[in-house]
Amino acid sequence: MYNISYFIAYPDFQCFNQEQQAWVQCSREQACNMSKQQWKAILKNGIYNWIEELDLYCSPKFQISLLGSLFFAGLIISMAFLVPFADVYGRKPFIIFDAIGSTLVQLGFLIFQDLTIYYILMFVLGALAAINIGICFAYNIEIVEKKHEVLVISLNSLGMGLAGLFVPLYFIFIGKTWQPIIYAATLASMISTLMVFNIKESPRFLSAKLKNFEAMQAITEIARFNNKDLKESQILQEISDYLTPKLQEKLPLKEKIHYPNYIRNIIIMAFIWTVSSFNFCLMNFYMSNMQGDINMNNLQQSIGLLISYVVSAPIINKLGIKASASLFFFLCCLAAVLYSCVEEKSKMFISAIVFIGRFGICPTYTLAYMCSNALFPPEIQSTSIAICNIVARSINLTAPFVAVLSDPLPFHAFGILSVFCWIAIMALDLESKNEKENLTTVPQKDTEIQT
């Protein structure tokens, strides 16, 4: 989804002027009101994408936006009905399913050339993306020591950013057709599918389920693979701390929702996830309609993403979550204000704004995961993240439609939402050492409190 704008960007149009007896630049609307013989499409920057592949030149815009909306619809349904099962059956089965499914879906884009099938594939791709968000990221955090959590999240995001950077570089220097991008993605999915069969189940998940022997086995095998001495690792102590008798009084989610702290946190986190993901996706779709050069804008977007993930880990570790959030959301607002207030914008200026906006919004994903990990215990973490993302992705359904509003309205939405998200993070009680204890222990009865 990082570079979806390349696949759905309209070409430039030329219409035949009867008076001048020459081809002149015209709008898509003007061209589509004429007969097919009186206009022609000029590939934007020479890129051949789905508009050309599926002959969508004059199709209603909502048909294009629907590709993105169905992606989010699949993600929402998967978050609601699939991801929560990872808190019951473990992380590994779903990670394997995600790898295999992604490979098949990407092959589908190469085999079929039909809009209806593309709708189905985008829906399934969204369902698989939910596993990445709700399960794979949680797994990555759970198999490392807490001191490495920010680094792991950033490295994970950095890897995805490198993949996103490949696309604009490909279109600038190598080719102009979309198929090689999918071939490369399919090959990467095949390789990852072979690799994930060898991963171990999350030790923290096993511990949360009181499967102590299996957890110890998983930790031992992970340590052996990494040539690490278990005595030097903090993960055993961290899991041991979790398995105190007090914390073993695990409650299902339906009982936890009665706790004021949980309700408050889940509402705030749902809003934080909503803004982070909406603004992130809005920029992806906005690239196809934004002023400037689509290649340069996407390149700056990818570079901003990469640099933000490289520097976000040390920034968050140094400043903490709330101070980091203030910095990153300030950059988001700065980008929105500059783009909205400056009337005469050069291509270089627009690319710089894209860089600043992407640099600001990308680390908020890391912040969202850090907040979720701090507030929700392992046995309900995937479910809680899924709840937040069901709300978030429901709102994200509108991102492709907001992206095609008159310029610069999409950037107005980007800036305003960033302000409210910063306020939400400031409202979280992340400093309380008893936050998880409040979520994972049974409250005393009224009579006990009175005594």
pLDDT given for residue 241 in this prediction: 54
Q: Is the pLDDT of residue 433 over 70?
A: no
431: exposed, middle or buried (Cβ count in 10 Å: 0-12, 13-18, 19+): exposed
What's the rounded mean pLDDT across residues 23-39? 92
In a domain, 447, yes or no: no
Q: Which residue has the higher pLDDT, 172 or 15?
A: 15
Which range has the worst mean pLDDT, 125-129, 133-137, 428-432?
428-432
**Positive or negative, the Cα torsion across 283, 69, 396, 78?**
negative
Q: Are residues 37 and 116 in the same domain?
A: no
Instruction: Select the highest-mean-pLDDT range: 13-17, 235-239, 242-246, 436-440.
Output: 13-17
In a domain, 287, yes or no: yes
Q: Which residue has the higher pLDDT, 308 or 332?
A: 332
pLDDT given for residue 204 in this prediction: 82
Separation between Cα atoms, residue 280 and residue 410, nearest integer Å: 12
Q: What total number of domains does the chain contain?
A: 2
In a domain, 451, yes or no: no
The CATH number covering residue 416 comes to 1.20.1250.20
Which range has the worst mean pLDDT, 230-239, 243-252, 298-307?
243-252
In a domain, 446, yes or no: no
Judge whether 347 and 296 are in contact, CB under 8 Å. yes
pTM, rounded to two decimals: 0.74
Percent of the chain predicted with pLDDT > 90: 32
What's the rounded mean pLDDT across residues 284-298? 81
Q: Are residues 432 and 416 in the same domain?
A: yes
Q: Are residues 18 and 129 in the same domain?
A: no
Q: Are residues 104 and 221 in the same domain?
A: yes
Q: Is the pLDDT of residue 407 over 50?
A: yes
Q: Are residues 190 and 339 in the same domain?
A: yes
Average pLDDT of the chain to the nearest whole number: 82
pLDDT given for residue 248 in this prediction: 40
Q: Are residues 47 and 68 in the same domain?
A: no
Q: Which residue has the higher pLDDT, 83 or 125?
A: 125
Q: Which two tokens stand for residue 20?
A: 């001048």
Separation between Cα atoms, residue 441 and residue 220, nearest integer Å: 29
Structural domain for 39, as ranges: 4-53
**Positive or negative, the Cα torsion across 415, 420, 422, 425?**
negative
pLDDT given for residue 286 in this prediction: 84
pLDDT given for residue 448 in this prediction: 35
In a domain, 81, yes or no: yes
Q: Are residues 357 and 290 in the same domain?
A: yes
Separation between Cα atoms, residue 125 and residue 71, nearest integer Å: 6
Q: Are residues 49 and 66 in the same domain?
A: no
Q: Is the pLDDT of residue 243 over 70?
A: no
Q: Are residues 198 and 268 in the same domain?
A: yes
Q: Is the pLDDT of residue 93 over 90?
A: yes
Which range has the worst mean pLDDT, 21-35, 298-312, 354-368?
298-312
pLDDT band at 183 (very low <50, low <70, confident <90, very high): very high
Residue 258's alpha-carbon distances to 121, 240, 242, 382, 390, in angstroms, are 39, 27, 22, 19, 20
Q: Are residues 190 and 337 in the same domain?
A: yes
What's the rounded mean pLDDT across residues 379-387? 76
pLDDT digits (tens, 9 = 90+) for 196-226: 998 999 888 888 788 888 888 888 888 788 7
In a domain, 450, yes or no: no
In a domain, 366, yes or no: yes
Q: Are residues 296 and 148 in the same domain?
A: yes
Separation between Cα atoms, residue 153 and residue 323, nearest integer Å: 18
Separation between Cα atoms, residue 131 and residue 14, nearest integer Å: 44
Q: Where are the alpha helices (DSSP H) in 287-346?
A: 294-319, 321-341
Q: Are residues 83 and 162 in the same domain?
A: yes
What's the rounded mean pLDDT across residues 92-117? 95
Q: Is the pLDDT of residue 438 over 70?
A: no
Which range has the worst mean pLDDT, 9-23, 24-38, 58-72, 151-165?
151-165
Q: Is the pLDDT of residue 251 over 50?
A: no
Give the end of a domain, one of 32, 53, 74: 53
Q: Which residue has the higher pLDDT, 190 or 87?
A: 190
